[in-house]
Structure 1
Amino acid sequence: MTRLVHLGLGNFFRAHQAWYTERANALQPEDPWTYTAFTGRSPALAAAMTAGGDRYTLIERGASGDSAMTIRAVAHSIPGGDTDAWAAALSEPELAVVTVTVTESGYGAEPSGAPARLLAGLAARRSAGGGPLALVSCDNLAGNGEVLHGAVVRLAEASDLELARWVEANVTFPSTMVDRITPHSGDPLTVVTEPFSEWVIAGGFPAGRPAWDEVGARFVDDVAPYERRKLWLLNAAHSTMAYLGLLAGFETVDQAWASPEIRATVEQLWGEVRPVLGFSDDETDAALAALRPRFANPRIAHRLEQIARQGREKLAQRQQAIMATRVEAGLPPGEACQTTIAAFEDVVRKGQFRVD
């Protein structure tokens, strides 16, 4: 019996939501929760997972060594194009939770987008007399639950008002903040990730859920402060290292972090964020203490060129938002933020990388 469905079978899901579920199942082995997982588009990973008995190895790659575990929380891996299997999975009476990792681009209104696919599954569930469930976005979108809710309901209202009313009455859309760096491994049955992981969740689960809270997931009333903490501490630091690092000839985060000058600018950035972040000094210190070894890990190759892409959009949410909040609080904009923006413009002028 699978009480979980996932849309977007890939490395991040297998390193994050499936990993949390595997560990929760270890606490109650007599009543495990398992996934029926669908790929986004390509059938290749589903075929590889099926051939491997739907088991894979998760390797946590720390600076000093690896640890590995077998993940069994995925019971069935199915190509995303199998619409009959999708409708059947969403119609299962026992289904309680659908998680989603399709990246930001997957939230459009096209028929192949996540909202349309989810709505088709919900229509099948309603026709089959299925009960309530939670749809949980785990993508890096601010207010991702609200975004998914709005996208699904708008599509329903445009085609079937009764279905839209059923969705509003029977489906919840919790918001989440997720964090775990998971590079591409090349082996479909091996997922490599960093030791650190975080999952913050706000919202209800009307049909139940795994005991994720007992294995590190944090349930809160409002996920927005944690999204901002990640954006302004982790992501803004990534932008600083990306543009200063590319100008200095570095390729990866650990190389940039090893530079005393770049590391000092990141620490200065964190000092600029601290008074406007909205967390206590103790909680901010704990978050920074977790970030420093992540950045220094030489065995997780997080490429600066990848981080640097879509720079104008990212800087607006990171450095420019920090600067605006500081000015609103009566503080100067912040030198480290300005240094990062200047470095971005310098990278654009040099034309070595597509970053804007």
Structure 2
Amino acid sequence: MKRHKTNLVNALKAQAAQEGFVAIGIAPGRLAPLAGARLREWLADGCHGEMLWMESRADQRASPERLWPEVKSVIMLGMSYAPSADPLALAEQKDRARISVYAQGRDYHDVVKGALKRLAGWLAHRTDADVKVFVDTAPVMEKTLAEAAGLGWQGKHSNVVSRVHGSWLFLGAIYTTAEIEPDEAGKGNCGSCRACQDICPTDAFPEPYKVDARRCISYLTIEHKGPIDRKLRPLMGNHIYGCDDCLAVCPWNKFASAAAANKAFLPRAELAAPRLADLLTLDDSAFRALFTGSPIKRIGRNRFVRNVLIAAGNSGDRSLLPPVIKLLEDTDEVVRGSAIWALQQLSPPDFEALKLRMAQQEHTHSVRDEWAGK
């Protein structure tokens, strides 16, 4: 039986490589209780922000068998999306928008899930075991399981760090009733390094290994639905979708190779360094056309333009005033409010002049607050 397991794992790893996975490991179907305790502490501190689904299904996240009692093993897999260009290079190009590396190519959910389904089908055929696949769409603690499976360890930025692929891994999980010998868990090797903590523009790490989503630019630009806290807006720079800062400075990235990245994640030229001026003019149909096949499409045009307006306000570029002023009359209240803030940053005289005319006509309380500067 032991020989059969070894042969199965070897064949599984070979098949996974054919599907584009560069990392694979086996975790037990039961996680140590400490994993669930850490999750509950994070939730109790409110660090999940508006991500209420994290709280509502916390028990199922705590360990695989709580989501699926029959599970015996969890196969954790990673696809590389290591970038060929420096994700920090656009930081000083204020007329350009910064989109997280992972969102510049095809939607990773589609790519990883498709490969997982094919691999899971192969495993089911070889073993007659039941299987379920997950890619960031179910109550699964992917990062904790990846560490348990030996793919790496959770770094101080809370994401998985690999000795081979740095901080650039998309994770996917196959739950199975097949009993497979687990791999040795990954061991942390961040040492005294604080690079990821120190670079965070919004100070979103209350302590190492713990991120407060309420201050995280990735959360603010993707998950958060309403107006963004006025105190945080100036700190966001030209980030308009996600943030790679804490990942990009990880010293372990020096071992990561863009050649190992899945070709599906190659950046689209129009998303690598888009102009804020172009993005400010997007209506709903243009937004959908531009982001077809991209994870960005899921946040919708209004939330996206909100983000672009904040970047515009931080740019100091007065040539952006015409599209910003046009958005003062947008049908969406969050967009209008963000346009008011951007206008105030770019041209206080124009802000004061338009305030006299437009503030009295505004019927939405949150937008009136923006004219009032609160």
Structure having the higher strand fraction is 1
TM band (smaller chain): under 0.3
Asked which structure has the greater CA Rg, the reply is 2
Higher relative contact order (CA 8 A, sep 6+): 2
TM-score for the superposition, normalised by structure 1: 0.27
